[in-house]
Structure 1
Amino acid sequence: MQLRVLGCSGSDLPGHNLTSFCIDDTILLDAGSVTSSLDLAAQARLEHIFVTHSHLDHIKDILFLADNLIEFFTAGSRPPVQIHGLPEVLDAIATHLLNDTIWPDFTVIPAESPVLTYAPMTPGVPVVIGDISVVTHPVNHAQAASGYVLWQDGGAKNIAYTGDTGPCDSFWQAMDALPFALTHLITEASFPSDLATLAAVSKHLTPRLLRTELNKLRARPGIFIYHMKAPFAAQIEHELEHELAGYSYRLLREHDVITI
């Protein structure tokens, strides 16, 4: 299993792509910077999008991806791209974006072979795609926000992704209850610790809060940090050196490739 970082920033600025990760060329975790990162041939290989929540920085390129792929569907030659997520998240996308007001509804275009389809998930119930299993668990962020765990080979290869989250005991409990030892974890540090009040209101983490969260986890996976707000990146990086002392961690960057 290979994960490619298309975007991992909490800010939309030059040189900072919004959140999206591509797995084995066919699966996306979130879709904040897909069409600006992948050429058309790579976009056409995508088959599944797993959405953590309905905030725009995690879903906006679903719209442009659908528009770019329309030519591949006019002949009815391939199945639709499946958008996976909790029902409330999919309903928000359908109601507020793919609604023929903000953007065409590509779940019915073209009529004979739509580009997109919704695939509601149930927490704790795996979706199997080839040899990869994917399960979702709720987190503490936007309405119906959730993270994901992906694994192969009975869990010998695995990675968890919190998505955006504030403190959330239940997610860490679910990670420790997995039938295999968690080895890789993508999680966030959006704000510096002196902005803890802002982090609490927006349901994000600071380096200090992240350390508190990781202390709840019995497993000791390798940590990958994403979603730093660009104006505070240097301060967050400095704080992480102190707060995550003793942990194996790495700051994600665009174009990074992680082999699981």
Structure 2
Amino acid sequence: MLLRVLGCSGSDLPGHHLTSFLVDEAILLDAGSVTSALDLSQQSKITDIFVTHAHLDHIKDILFLADNLIEFFSGKDRPPVRIHGLADVLGSIAEHLLNDTIWPDFTVIPENAPVLAYHPLAPETVIQVRGLNVATCPVNHARAASGFVLWSDDGEHNVAYTGDTGPNGRWWDFLNALPFPLTNLITEASFPNSMETLARTSKHLTPGLLRVELERLTVRPKVHIYHMKSPFSAQIQEELQRDLAGYTYHLMNEKETFSF
């Protein structure tokens, strides 16, 4: 399983792009920075988008991706790009974005071969996509927010992705119940410890809060950190060195590729 970082920042600034990960050249985990990171040929290979929640920094490039891909669908017998997520998340996208007011509804355009299709997921139910098993579980963030776990049939290749999250229990219980030991975890550290009140209010994590959450796991996967708010990144990195002592962790960077 190859995962490419298209964007991993909690801030949209020059040199810092919003969250999106590309798996095996065809599967997106969130879509905050797709069209600015991939050329048209690469965009045309995308078949599935897994959306953690409907905040704009995780979904905005669904709009521009659909617009770019229309030439690959018009007059052609190609299945639509599937958007996966909990039903309330997909409902928010349909109501507030792909609504013919903010953006055209590409689930009906072109008429006989639409670019996009919604595929609602049930929590903790496993589906198969392009040779991988994928399951979602709710997390503590926005309305109907969830994280995803992707793994090979034998469980040897696996990664869990929290999406944005604050402190929560169900997610970690779900990971502990997986039929294989989790080896890779992508999770967030948005704010420094001095901003814990804001982190809790906005349902994000600080390095200190992250340590408490990781202690809920019965295994110690390699931890990949994303979504640092850029103005506080230096402080967050210093605190991670202290608060994640004993853990193997990595600060994600754009254009990195991981083999999980």
Give the alignment's TM-score, normalised by structure 1. Answer: 0.99
Indicate the residue corresponding to 1:48 in structure 2. 48
CA distance in 2: counterparts of 1:173 and 1:188, whole angstroms: 18
Indicate the residue corresponding to 1:171 in structure 2. 171
Q: In angstroms, what is the RMSD of aligned CA positions?
A: 0.5
Indicate the residue corresponding to 2:122 in structure 1. 122
1:86-114 CA-to-partner distances (Å, cap 9, x unmatched) read 00000000000000000000000000100
Indicate the residue corresponding to 1:229 in structure 2. 229
Q: How does 1:61-210 map to 2 (within 5 A)?
A: 61-210=61-210
Q: CA contact under 8 A between 1:167 and 1:205: conserved in structure 2? A: yes
CA distance in 1: counterparts of 2:218 and 2:207, whole angstroms: 19
CA distance in 1: counterparts of 2:158 and 2:106, whole angstroms: 32
Q: CA contact under 8 A between 1:161 and 1:186: conserved in structure 2? A: yes
CA distance in 1: counterparts of 2:116 and 2:149, whole angstroms: 23
Indicate the residue corresponding to 2:256 in structure 1. 256
Code of the aligned partner of 1:221: P
Code of the aligned partner of 1:61: D
* Residue 7 (1) aligns with residue 4 (2): no
Runs (4+) off by over 3 Å: none
Once the two structures are TM-superposed, the CA of residue 130 in structure 1 deviates from its matched residue by: 2.7
Once the two structures are TM-superposed, the CA of residue 212 in structure 1 deviates from its matched residue by: 0.4
CA distance in 1: counterparts of 2:100 and 2:219, whole angstroms: 46
CA distance in 2: counterparts of 1:188 and 1:167, whole angstroms: 11
Q: Alignment partner of 1:245: what SS?
A: coil
Unaligned runs of 5+ in 2: none
Q: CA contact under 8 A between 2:83 and 2:119: conserved in structure 1? A: yes
Q: CA contact under 8 A between 1:19 and 1:30: conserved in structure 2? A: yes
CA distance in 2: counterparts of 1:48 and 1:130, whole angstroms: 9
1:22-81 CA-to-partner distances (Å, cap 9, x unmatched) read 000000000000000000000000000000000000000000000000000012231100
Code of the aligned partner of 2:237: E
Q: CA contact under 8 A between 2:89 and 2:145: conserved in structure 1? A: yes
Q: CA contact under 8 A between 2:7 and 2:19: conserved in structure 1? A: yes
CA distance in 1: counterparts of 2:25 and 2:224, whole angstroms: 20
CA distance in 2: counterparts of 1:123 and 1:178, whole angstroms: 14
CA distance in 2: counterparts of 1:127 and 1:95, whole angstroms: 25
Code of the aligned partner of 1:191: F
CA distance in 2: counterparts of 1:231 and 1:122, whole angstroms: 37
CA distance in 1: counterparts of 2:258 and 2:238, whole angstroms: 23
Instruction: Give % identity.
Output: 64
Q: CA contact under 8 A between 1:76 and 1:112: conserved in structure 2? A: no
Unaligned runs of 5+ in 1: none
CA distance in 1: counterparts of 2:51 and 2:43, whole angstroms: 17
Code of the aligned partner of 1:245: A
Q: Relative to structure 2, which stretch is displaced further, 122-131 or 79-88?
A: 122-131
Once the two structures are TM-superposed, the CA of residue 134 in structure 1 deviates from its matched residue by: 0.4
Code of the aligned partner of 1:252: M
CA distance in 1: counterparts of 2:153 and 2:133, whole angstroms: 9
* Residue 19 (1) aligns with residue 19 (2): yes
Q: Alignment partner of 2:154: what SS?
A: helix
* Residue 36 (1) aligns with residue 55 (2): no
CA distance in 2: counterparts of 1:153 and 1:178, whole angstroms: 12
Once the two structures are TM-superposed, the CA of residue 180 in structure 1 deviates from its matched residue by: 0.5
CA distance in 2: counterparts of 1:21 and 1:200, whole angstroms: 25
Q: Alignment partner of 2:235: what SS?
A: helix
CA distance in 1: counterparts of 2:95 and 2:157, whole angstroms: 36
Code of the aligned partner of 2:13: L
Once the two structures are TM-superposed, the CA of residue 154 in structure 1 deviates from its matched residue by: 2.1
Give the alignment's TM-score, normalised by structure 2. Answer: 0.99
CA distance in 2: counterparts of 1:46 and 1:193, whole angstroms: 38
Q: Alignment partner of 2:124: what SS?
A: coil
